[in-house]
Amino acid sequence: MKKKLCIGMVLMMLLFVAACGSSTDNTDDSRLSSETSSANTEESSEEKTEEKNNEESDEGQPEGLFSGEKTVEETDEKGSETGYEESTDLHLENRLFSIDMPESLKGKYTALVYDEAITVYEKLAYDKTKDDEFKLGIVFWIGACSDPEEYIYDEHYDLFGTLESASGKGYDMIISYPTDVEWDETSKESSDAWHEIDNAAEEITSSVKSTDGGTYEVKGEDTGALDDDPATVSELYRATIEKHIQAIEEGWSQDRLEDEKMSYIYEIIARNSKEDPLEKIGYLEYDINGDGVNELYIGEITKKDSGWSGVVYDMYTLVGRQVWHMFSGGDKDAWFLTDKGYINNEISGGAAYTEYAYYSLSLYSNIKNYAGGLKYDSDTDEANPWFSKGPGKNDTWEKISEKEYDEKNESYGPHKWLDYVPLADYRSNNPQ
């Protein structure tokens, strides 16, 4: 479960407490979307892919997370001098959740309990530096975040559960760790205690409970649809599926669809379909990266052995309790899944140019990571039109042989068949 956080300074963790712990408990029903609609079809294929690759790797961190000169004291809702309560109890709780420390750790830690977060320190290092600007001894930080924007762009945070308060507001439960040495390097006792607490982190997070009458779920326990029951729908995805049905039934224009961050292709399918277009477009939930969270795919229902089988026109994922739009595709900018767990974007520029970009999806996240690409480009080199590109930001297209091209293509895996459930079935099973 554990990921080591590349922060380096305790101050950054404290500011994270301020970012996640200063929200008030008012239910927020807004939907978030992480990406814009499809690129203009008049763009060149190479320009579109370069823009996509930069978009996935350079996604900016929202202002306010670790920026500026804010301090915990300045953001404390109660207006107290510290904003936290110091405790060495085995049972630690704030207004939203509690954790239980193992009996074996008694006397080895000090916890700072905030309204919506708990920071655990190794006691000897903490006591030695508690009056300093930067306290030593921090082992981990556990907090409830109501807005994924506060952490989602930094892959080093680990989301281990979701919490719903008694009033119905949803929170993501996050744990983070420092990478710098945080124990007292002059004391073996301090080092041993720090590592003992660190090794107990998973046991401690498994003890989380709601303290205000709300509910807590471990990440992955409530995943929605099961792979062997594709017609089952996660409650959080229902509004998204119903929006697609509405768009098709009402005949939304291509511009309207793109404004709503949906694929323009639905208008074309509906216009050209001789049958109910809701029989031609379907949905499916499937967990592409094995984190226990099903993604939602909307695509065209085709024959299994067709070259277009498994095409995805819109993809969504859940971060905490919110739906995030991942991408929209079309006829010249198509998306597929592969049997090796990649998301494949195929960009066509005619018979002389086709590009394949491959991505992996970060765990519990809406971040697509560029994993590499292949390109057939006879306009550039008719005699040797095969190219490949690595995953690094500074990697460039390199010429390869046809055999190398085929081997690399095979390493990403073939298209995965998606047995879509027709939107018409959803409409029949869920009458308005």
As given in the structure block, the two tokens for residue 388 are: 């490949």
Q: Tell me which residue of 57, 55, 73, 58 sits closest to 15, measured CA to CA.
A: 73
% the chain with pLDDT above 70: 74
Q: Quickly state the pLDDT bin for 3 (edges 50, 70, 90).
A: very low
Check residue 314 and give its pLDDT.
97
Cβ neighbors of 221 (< 8 A, separation 6 or more) are 292
pLDDT digits (tens, 9 = 90+) for 352-375: 999 999 999 887 677 788 999 999
Check residue 364 and give its pLDDT.
66
DSSP string, 72-136: HHHH-TT--SSSSEEE--SEEE-SSEEEE--GGGTTSEEEEE-SSEEEEEEHHHHHHHTTSSS-S
Does pLDDT of 160 surpass 50?
yes
Check residue 197 and give its pLDDT.
95
Which residues face 328 on adjacent strands? 314
pLDDT digits (tens, 9 = 90+) for 100-110: 999 999 999 99
Distance CA 141, CA 38 (A): 38
pLDDT digits (tens, 9 = 90+) for 241-271: 999 999 999 999 999 999 999 999 999 999 9
Check residue 155 and give its pLDDT.
53
Check residue 234 and give its pLDDT.
80
Q: From the centroid of its chain, how far is CA 382?
A: 41
Q: Which of 23-32, 172-181, 244-253, 296-305 has the highest mean pLDDT?
A: 244-253
Distance CA 391, CA 357 (A): 10
Check residue 367 and give its pLDDT.
78
Give 19's DSSP letter.
Answer: H
| CB atoms inside a 10 Å sphere around CB 322 | 21
394 burial type by CB count under 10 A (0-12 exposed, 13-18 middle, 19+ buried) = exposed
Domain boundaries along the sequence of the chain: 10-218, 235-429
Dihedral of alpha carbons 421, 422, 423, 426, sign? negative
Q: Which of 3-17, 126-140, 201-215, 303-317 has the lowest mean pLDDT?
A: 3-17
In the chain, the amino acid numbered 7 is: I
As given in the structure block, the two tokens for residue 429 are: 């099973």
Distance CA 283, CA 234 (A): 12
Check residue 39 and give its pLDDT.
35
> What is the pLDDT averaged over residues 135-143?
89
Distance CA 257, CA 263 (A): 6
Predicted structure pTM score: 0.59
Q: Quickly state the pLDDT bin for 121 (edges 50, 70, 90).
A: very high
**Pair 98, 116: CB distance under 8 Å:** no
Q: Quickly state the pLDDT bin for 281 (edges 50, 70, 90).
A: very high
DSSP string, 131-153: TSSS-S-EEEEEEEES-GGGTTT
Check residue 290 and give its pLDDT.
82
**Pair 396, 372: CB distance under 8 Å:** no
Q: Which of 61-70, 81-90, 179-188, 310-319 has the lowest mean pLDDT?
A: 61-70
pLDDT digits (tens, 9 = 90+) for 195-254: 999 999 989 999 999 999 988 888 654 333 334 444 556 888 999 999 999 999 999 999
Check residue 320 and give its pLDDT.
66
